[in-house]
Chains A and B, each alone.
Chain A
Amino acid sequence: MQNFPLTRRHLLSAMGVGAGTAALAACTGPVSADGGGEGAASNLRSGFSQAALGEIPSEYQGRTNILFWAPWTGGLFEAMTEQFAMFNEAQTEIYAAIESVGGYADLNTAFTAALQARAVPDMVCFPEMQWLQFYFAGALTPLDSHFDDEWNLDVYLQNFIGESKAGDETYVVPFARSTPLFYYNKSLFNELGLPVDTQYTWSQLREFGAEIASVQSSGQEIKTFAYSGGDAWFANSWLWAFDGVWSDGFQVMPDEAKVSELMTFANEWVHVDGNAYMAQDSHTDFQTGLVAAVHGSTASMRGLTEAVDFELGAAFMPGEVNQPPTVPTGGSGFSLVRTESQERQDATAELLKFLATPAMSGKWHIDSGYVPIVQAAADEPQVQELHATDPNFTVAIQQMENAQTVAPVNWFQSGTAALSEAFASLTGDDADVQATIDTLRGEYEGILEDNREDLEALGIS
Chain B
Amino acid sequence: MKKFILTISLILPAILLLAQSDKYKQAMVQHIGKIESAFQSGNFLEIANSFERIGDAEKTQWLPYYYASYCQVISALVGTDKSKSDVLADKADALITKAETIAGGSNSETNVIRSMIASAHMMVDPQSRWQQYGQVSAGHIEKAKEQDPTNPRPVYLEGQSKFYTPEAFGGGKAIAAPLFEKALSMFDTFKPATEIAPSWGKASTQYFLSQCK
* Co-complex (A, B): no
